[in-house]
C-alpha cells in the first residue's frame, strides 16, 4: 500500500456517504421492526396486519445526521485500521498468513515491541481499535437517526400536503428539541454501539481479509494459467493498472458480502439491544416552556404535589434481559433477515468503493512521484 492518511480518509468518507444514501431506507425499516412499539404503532390492533402506509413512510428521516457524521467517523475508522494493521505487520517477526505485499506500505509506523501474532488476530485488534475511535463520533448521529426514524409524521394534520424533505426536517427538529436541555444524552448508547460493533468488526474483518486473500490468490493463479496457455502478449501498464483496479474492487465486494452476512446475523441480538437503548434516550420528561400553558406530559409524569422524578434509566444488560424475558429468543433476532441482507449489500458496496478509491489514489500518487504503478 502506498497511500497517505489523507488518501485513506478521502476513500473511506466517499464510500460511506454513497452507501449511506443507498441503504438508509433498509436501516430505517430495521429500526422500526426492532423498536418496542412496533406491534402498537405499525400493526393494526384488530387484524394484526402491517400498516404499510406508516411503516414505509419517511424512510429517509434522520439521514442527514448520519451523512454529516459519516465523513469524520469513516475516515477515522480506516485511518486507524490501516495504521494499526500496518504497524502490527511491521513489528511482527513472522505473522501467520501475512500478505507478501505488506512491506510495500508507505507508512513507517512501527510498534515499540516485536510480536508473532497471527494475521486474524492483527486484523481483529486493528478493526476493534478503529471501531472504538469511530463510535465516539458516530454515537450522537446514531441516537438522532434512530429516534428520527421512529417519528410518526402521518399524525401531523398537514402531513398529506408536506413533501418528503419537509417531513425529514420536521422529524429531525422534533428529535433535536428533546435533547436541547440535556445534550450529553446524545452519547447514550455508546457502550451498546461499541458492544455491537466490536464483535461485528472483530468477526467481519478477519473473515473479510481471509476470504479476500484466498479469492485474490485464486484469481491470480487462474490468470497466470490462462496467459501461459493462450500465449498472450504482455499488456500495457495502463491496461494492467485498469484491470487490477476493477478486479480488486469486485473481489473486495464479494468478500465483504460473504463476511458481512455471517457477522451481521450472529450479532443481531446485540444490535436489537443497542436499538432499544438508543430509542430510550428520548424517554425524558418534557418541561413546558416559560409562560406556556401547554403541558405535554402524560398523567403519570405530571407532579402530584411532589417533585417530578425521572424514571430509573435501564442499562444495556437490563434491557437485554427484558427483551429475552418478554419476547424470547425470537425477540433478540428481530430484524435479523433485513440486517443481514442490507449489510451484505452495503458492506459490499462500502469496502469495494473504499478499496477502489484507495487504489485509484495510490496509483495517482505513484504517477505524480514517478513510480511505476506495479511496484
The continuous run of DSSP H or E covering 304 comes out as none
> Could you tell me the three cell numbers for 181?
436541555
Rounded distance between C-alpha atoms, residue 130 and residue 78, angstroms: 7
Task: With both helix axes pointing from N to C terminus, report the angle between 5-34 and 119-149 in degrees, rounded to the nearest 10.
Answer: 50
Pick 20 or 151 by higher pLDDT: 20
Is the pLDDT score of 248 beyond 50? yes
pLDDT at 231: 62
Q: Which residues pair with 43 in a beta bridge?
A: 50
Per residue, the 3-state secondary structure of 303-349, as one string, reads CCCCCCCCCCCCCHHHHHHHHHHHHHHHHHCCCHHHHHHHHHHHHHH
Contact by Cβ (8 Å): 288, 296: yes
Residue 257: pLDDT band by 50, 70, 90 thresholds? very high
Over 70: is that where the pLDDT of 319 sits? Answer: yes
The DSSP 8-state label assigned to residue 92 in this structure reads: B
DSSP assignment letter at 375: -
pLDDT of residue 291: 45
228 compared with 318, residue with greater pLDDT: 318
Task: Determine the Cα–Cα distance for residues 1 and 109; give it in Å rounded to an integer.
Answer: 13
CA 158-160-164 angle, 5° bins? 100
Q: Which of 94-108, 170-184, 354-368 has the lowest mean pLDDT?
A: 94-108
Average pLDDT over residues 17-43: 84
Which range is least confidently modeled, 94-98, 142-146, 261-265, 333-337?
94-98
Helix (H, G, I), strand (E, B) or coil at 222: helix
Quote the pLDDT of residue 239.
61
C-alpha cell read off for 60: 429517509
| Res 298 pLDDT > 80 | no
Predicted local confidence at residue 1, as pLDDT: 59
What pLDDT score does 159 carry? 46
Instruction: Give residue for cell 473486495.
Output: 252
The domain 5-154+165-282+313-368: what is its CATH number? 1.50.40.10
Residue identified by cell 510480536 is: 115
3-state secondary structure at position 115: strand
Q: Does the pLDDT value for residue 289 go beyond 60?
A: no
Per-residue pLDDT reduced to its tens digit, 65-119: 777 777 888 888 888 898 888 888 877 765 544 444 443 345 556 776 677 788 8
Q: Percent of the chain having pLDDT more than 70? A: 74
Over residues 369-373, the mean pLDDT reads: 69
Please give the pLDDT value at position 34: 80
- What is the model's pLDDT at position 295? 43
Residue percentage of the chain with pLDDT more than 90: 4
Whole-number Å distance between alpha carbons of 1 and 7: 11
Q: What residue segments make up the domains of the chain, in order of their start?
A: 5-154+165-282+313-368
Closest CA to 117 of 88, 141, 144, 160: 88
Return the DSSP state at 181: S
Element (H, E) at 95: none
Judged against a pLDDT cut of 70, whether residue 25 lies above it is answered with: yes
312 compared with 170, residue with greater pLDDT? 170
Which one-letter DSSP state was computed for residue 77?
A: H
Residue 110 φ then ψ, to 5°: -145, 140
pTM for this structure? 0.62
pLDDT value, residue 259 = 92
Measured at the CA of 260, the angle between CA 1 and CA 250, to 5 degrees, comes to 50
- Quick one: 47 exposed, middle or buried, by C-beta within 10 A (0-12, 13-18, 19+)? exposed
Better-predicted residue by pLDDT, 196 or 345? 345
Average per-residue pLDDT in the chain?
A: 76
Amino acid at each position: 500500500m502506498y497511500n497517505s492518511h489523507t488518501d485513506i480518509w478521502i476513500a473511506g468518507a466517499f464510500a460511506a456517504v454513497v452507501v449511506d444514501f443507498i441503504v438508509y431506507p433498509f436501516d430505517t425499516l430495521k429500526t422500526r421492526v426492532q423498536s418496542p412499539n412496533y406491534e402498537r404503532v405499525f400493526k393494526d390492533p384488530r387484524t394484526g396486519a402491517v400498516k404499510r402506509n406508516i411503516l414505509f413512510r419517511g424512510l429517509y428521516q434522520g439521514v442527514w445526521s448520519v451523512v454529516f457524521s459519516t465523513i469524520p467517523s469513516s475516515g477515522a475508522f480506516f485511518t486507524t485500521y490501516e495504521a494499526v494493521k500496518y504497524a502490527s505487520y511491521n513489528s511482527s517477526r513472522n505473522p501467520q498468513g501475512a500478505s507478501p505485499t505488506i512491506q510495500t506500505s508507505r507508512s513507517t509506523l512501527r510498534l515499540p515491541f516485536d510480536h508473532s501474532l497471527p494475521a486474524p488476530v492483527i486484523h481483529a485488534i486493528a478493526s476493534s481499535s478503529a471501531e472504538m475511535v469511530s463510535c465516539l463520533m458516530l454515537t450522537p448521529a446514531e441516537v438522532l437517526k434512530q429516534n428520527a426514524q421512529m417519528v410518526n409524521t402521518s399524525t401531523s394534520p398537514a402531513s398529506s400536503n408536506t413533501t418528503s424533505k419537509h417531513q425529514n426536517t420536521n422529524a429531525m427538529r422534533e428529535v433535536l428539541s428533546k435533547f436541547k436541555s440535556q445534550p450529553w444524552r446524545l452519547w447514550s448508547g455508546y457502550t451498546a454501539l461499541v458492544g455491537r460493533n466490536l464483535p461485528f468488526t472483530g468477526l467481519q474483518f478477519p473473515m473479510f481479509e481471509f476470504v479476500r486473500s484466498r479469492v485474490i490468490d485464486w484469481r491470480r493463479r487462474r490468470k497466470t494459467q490462462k496467459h501461459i496457455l493462450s500465449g498472450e502478449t504482455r499488456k500495457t501498464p495502463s491496461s494492467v493498472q485498469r484491470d487490477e483496479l476493477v478486479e480488486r474492487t469486485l473481489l473486495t465486494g464479494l468478500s465483504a458480502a460473504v463476511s458481512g452476512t455471517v457477522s451481521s446475523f450472529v450479532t443481531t441480538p446485540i444490535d436489537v439491544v443497542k436499538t432499544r437503548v438508543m430509542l430510550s434516550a428520548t424517554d425524558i420528561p418534557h418541561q413546558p416552556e416559560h409562560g406556556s400553558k401547554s403541558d405535554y406530559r402524560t398523567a403519570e409524569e405530571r407532579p402530584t404535589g411532589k417533585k417530578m422524578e425521572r424514571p430509573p434509566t435501564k442499562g444495556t444488560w437490563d434491557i437485554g434481559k427484558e427483551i429475552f424475558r418478554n419476547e424470547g429468543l425470537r425477540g433478540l433476532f428481530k430484524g435479523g433477515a433485513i440486517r443481514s441482507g442490507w449489510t451484505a449489500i452495503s458492506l459490499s458496496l462500502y469496502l469495494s468503493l473504499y478499496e477502489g478509491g484507495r487504489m485509484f489514489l495510490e496509483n495517482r500518487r505513484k504517477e505524480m512521484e514517478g513510480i511505476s504503478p506495479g511496484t
